[in-house]
Structure 1
């Protein structure tokens, strides 16, 4: 009888042929190998299916599922989690890159710290060619043992892509599934943070790709982004005010559901009220990828040396 993998990686994809093979090489080349890779193809119309089937034939850890119709990015993200079997879970993006040691460092952190529920690593934003645009210093206090401190930090500070960390699956089953209103990923991660603290591995191991065809770039308006997340958001029943109201309510309901003491719950509500009434704090609405690019001559670590499948490439300094 085949034993279950300890870690499940869920990779939802739609028309990802441009970068998918690079991301698969990076994931399959991890030094930590006890995982399954669940790919859910959201009825892609490009070469995504051929790439997925080719890789699945070569590596038995891949479970490839092709959907008969495009159900939207959010339902597809939730689907790969429901298909998972591991005690740990990680979402992966088809266009990002992952250093060989990323999974091992995150799993080791969870093993060393039983009270930690999510582990991730330092990151940098890369361009379409895999060249570093912006290294990002993680400043969130998600490692605090005090839930209101974690919650306040995630409200006010620029995010660190904790959504793509390695997460204890039993915690994910206790939170509300990812939704599709404006910034639903932020309320989702904030709710996870109310269940326990995170650990940030102090090594540059995750590279988030920013490119013109990325969903956020291809869908500039709030409504178009939400329709991309779930086609059911199209139409007059989902105007922008409703999408924004659901965003705020997402935080409220997360506080209501979380296993908090009465005092901690009140503290979280106070932080939420401060956030809702004033967005004037510097950096509150900042996007990391919109920061000024770094001078390439100041970079010292090579992306191509860290990421499997990129050996021999020129450039890629981080």
Structure 2
């Protein structure tokens, strides 16, 4: 029975976030749902993060602070925050995010309305580095379907759409349904995990801005270095993602018919993404060629003669 006494854990993985932490912590503790646990998982920070977290934990017994003895990597610290949580429901939050006071309670209401759900997402407002704030409205119904392949296909469709529409990694989840899903440290792992979540059970969605995130576009090579995976994988990230999805589908226990449909959906996503990459590279090569032609004309231009 979901009610005021339902424990909800919010997992906050952080590394060197001393300058950002207090805002997100305040927003979590300000939730209007009364039974909140905030699990801060500190990935061996070298700034003042530890001191700030210990002070916050002393001031509020809803905060659980765990410090990794050494840097375990971004993904493993993320996973640790979920495994340390005790709540029936779990939501991860970034160290520079902010939640509206009704984020948890509004999401729990959606769970109470549909007992099948394993995840409830909300509309998110994203702030770009230049201060511009944007959001998107998701109006689909495929993720609520009882057919796992329909949910899977819908999630893969969204991966080729705008990131503004839906963000399952920062939704409220039934902890028991998600913490056992295996994860692999790789590029596009967040998208692979989202696809696994779609196979695991139906989702709900609250079309209200209940969370705020800072957003910046990063090149795949930069992300590879942050994840500590070989940089060469950046050139093959979509192919590696496609292989990982097929590997998971083979282990998912789908019937033969559903497996064929799911593989076809994964193939469509992959082909579309490859076409986008090819078009982008084509435009880049065209610009390079145009620049070479222009520079060659400038270099071959004769010097102006003396005026008469």
Question: TM-score w.r.t. structure 1 length?
Answer: 0.76
Seen in structure 2, the aligned counterparts of structure 1 residues 62 and 76 have a Cα distance that, compared at 3 Å, is same
Q: Does 1:270 align with 2:270?
A: no
Q: Could you report, residue by residue, the CA deviation over 1:174-220 in whole angstroms, capped at 9, with x for unpaired residues?
A: 4213x221110001011011111110112111111125xxxx64xx3
Aligned length: 268
CA distance in 1, matches of 2:98, 2:275: 32
CA distance in 2, matches of 1:145, 1:15: 42
CA distance in 2, matches of 1:244, 1:274: 12
Kept after mapping to 2: 8 A contact 1:121/1:206: yes
Shift of 1:86: 1.8
Greater share of helix: 2
Q: Which moved more, 1:81-90 or 1:138-147?
A: 138-147
Shift of 1:277: 2.2
Kept after mapping to 1: 8 A contact 2:8/2:36: yes
Kept after mapping to 1: 8 A contact 2:82/2:179: no
Q: Does 1:102 align with 2:91?
A: no
- Look up the SS of the partner of 2:145 in the other structure: coil
CA distance in 2, matches of 1:259, 1:168: 21
1:224 pairs, out of 222, 235, 257, with: 222
Q: Does 1:205 align with 2:203?
A: no
Q: Does 1:189 align with 2:155?
A: no
In the other structure, the counterpart of 2:298 is none
CA distance in 1, matches of 2:132, 2:28: 19
Q: Could you report, residue by residue, the CA deviation over 1:239-276 in whole angstroms, capped at 9, with x for unpaired residues?
A: 44565443112211232233433322211111111222
In the other structure, the counterpart of 1:258 is 252
CA distance in 1, matches of 2:110, 2:242: 32
In the other structure, the counterpart of 1:162 is 168
- Look up the SS of the partner of 2:66 in the other structure: strand
- Look up the SS of the partner of 2:200 in the other structure: coil
Structure 1 gap ranges (5+): 286-318
Q: Does 1:12 align with 2:13?
A: yes
CA distance in 2, matches of 1:5, 1:200: 20
Kept after mapping to 2: 8 A contact 1:156/1:281: no
Structure 2 gap ranges (5+): 280-308
Seen in structure 2, the aligned counterparts of structure 1 residues 5 and 73 have a Cα distance that, compared at 3 Å, is farther
CA distance in 1, matches of 2:6, 2:224: 33
- Look up the SS of the partner of 2:118 in the other structure: strand
Q: Equivalences for 1:120-139 in 2 at 5 Å? A: 120-127=121-128, 133-139=133-139
- Look up the SS of the partner of 1:40 in the other structure: strand
Larger radius of gyration, structure 1 or 2?
2
Question: TM-score w.r.t. structure 2 length?
Answer: 0.78
Kept after mapping to 2: 8 A contact 1:194/1:255: no
- Look up the SS of the partner of 2:9 in the other structure: strand
Seen in structure 2, the aligned counterparts of structure 1 residues 165 and 259 have a Cα distance that, compared at 3 Å, is farther
